[in-house]
Amino acid sequence: MRIVLFIEKRISMSVTLPKEFLERMKQLLSSEEDYVAFVNSYNDNPVRGLRLNLKKLIANEESNSGAITYEKLISSWNLTPIKDASFAIYKEKKYYREFYMDEERLNSLGIRPGKHPYHEAGLYYIQGTEAMQAVAHLGIRPFDRVADLCASPGGKSTQAADMLSIKSGGFLISNEYVPLRAKTLSSNIERMGIANAAVLNEDTGKLAQFFPEYFTRIIVDAPCSGEGMFRKDETAINEWSPANVSMCSERQKEIVSNAYRMLSPGGKLCYSTCTFEKAEDEDIRDYILNEYTDMSLIFEKRVWPHLEKGEGHYIAIFQREGRDPLEKTEKDYGICITESDYTIDLKHFKEMKVKNQIYLVPDFLPDLRGLKSFRTGLLKSIDLGKRIEPEHSLTHAVNLHDENELHNFDFTVCDFPGSAPEIEQYLKGLQIPAPKGVTGKGWCIVSCDGVALGLGKLVNGQIKNHYPKGLRFN
């Protein structure tokens, strides 16, 4: 029997971790050096990353105005791609999605990424660099049928959606069991301008009955004991217990069993957690492999906060035997794209009215009647009886540089540079003057450096503010 000694006096923590958790980590980390480095990592600040919305940035590449571009953003914000970052190729140029965020540089420039016009415009999503890696390794193609079963707040869902193409018929079903969390998920889907998706609020067992062997890619970012979040979330520390670990493990088995029932032959399943517990990680991996003999493990990784930038995470990707029903040999996993991949082509959408709300729903989206839905497709407008008004979510999905698309929705674009005082005034809900040279009246999209912020109404050279009250800056 091997005996491992740990010298506690070398450890200095700025947070108080559960004693039993530390005992478990001693068993999991087989060397004293690793254990000490792991525990001391809790003195470091949490690491965050930015995941870019390539749909919006690539649309801006076609603009001759002062629109924010991919190169401008990564250069001025000093963004560095994470290891194994996913990417798209547009006109023979590689565009990475997932980046480390240089918060020291941004602070020095007075930039607050979570309260910035680009954030409100859905130009990026703030996400842990460790969490970005799961979807990046899933190999999502533009035509895939993707389900994210435990999706709130939406990091992995919005990452997957950026890899899907309306033109190719790819879509996302994003599900969250807790209603309040499903509302947050829906808000992030809206902010990122995703039209080819539905947000559901269902039990995974019901979804498994509804979609047998249907999805070609499934994401299970399972509810877990949250040990990987201890460095940035004190609530996770307070809620941790061995009993909670056991409860999570049983729930995870139920969810992955339902996920398997929904996975098509040849399809891929990504299982991930933000915990270190073997019972919630490798034991679930073994459960899948033993229970379902047509599943094989094709990728596995643990992210340790003392070994790389990021918080704790576990990733395992499986593939099911059989012929992929969507296999298209002419596609190279969807990394080569054209601008039309990211344009709302109305011939692929139909209108659907739910009470007084009018949605644009992709014709390739499955029939979701009988399921609890927060959002199906894109909320286009609201019928107020005497008039129909466009909705905020539509502005985030429209390509501002596509004249045909703007004409279809009858919008004028009022674009301001990011440094203009009108941008902050608009985000606070104030009325602002129209840009120089913009005349006429009617609905307009207020934008910043070529990316949409929201609605306004042109009246006598002024823009009446229609930015949603719940989103306004204080």
The three-state (H, E, C) secondary structure of the chain, written as one string: CCCCCCCHHHCCCCCCCCHHHHHHHHHHCCCHHHHHHHHHHHHCCCCCEEEECHHHHHHHHCCCCCCCCHHHHHHHCCCEECCCCCEEEECCEEEECEEECCHHHHHHCCCCHHHCHHHHCCCEEEECHHHHHHHHCCCCCCCCEEEECCCCCCHHHHHHHCCCCCCCCCEEEEECCCHHHHHHHHHHHHHCCCCCEEEECCCHHHHHHHCCCCEEEEEEECCCCCHHHCCCCHHHHHHCCHHHHHHHHHHHHHHHHHHHHHEEEEEEEEEEECCCCHHHCHHHHHHHHHHCCCEEEEEEEEECCCCCCCCCEEEEEEEECCCCCCCCCCCCCCCEECHHHHCCCHHHEEEEEECCEEEEEECCCCCCCCCCEEEECEEEEEECCCCEEECHHHHHHCCCCCHHHHHHHCCEEEEECCCCHHHHHHHCCCCEECCCCCCCCEEEEEEECCEEEEEEEEECCEEEECCCHHHCCC
469 neighbors 454 (Cβ within 8 angstroms):
no
Distance of alpha carbon 435 from alpha carbon 72, whole angstroms: 23
Cβ neighbours around 137 below 10 Å, total: 20
Instruction: Find residue 381's DSSP bridge partners.
Output: 358, 390
Distance of alpha carbon 84 from alpha carbon 68, whole angstroms: 25
65 neighbors 400 (Cβ within 8 angstroms):
no
Active site includes 274?
Answer: yes
> Of 248, 274, 414, 448, which is the active-site residue?
274
What angle, 0 to 180 degrees and rounded to 10, lies between the N-to-C axes of helices 32-40 and 19-28? 140
Alpha carbon distances (Å) from 65 to 261, 400, 401, 440, 445: 49, 11, 10, 21, 16
Catalytic residues: 274
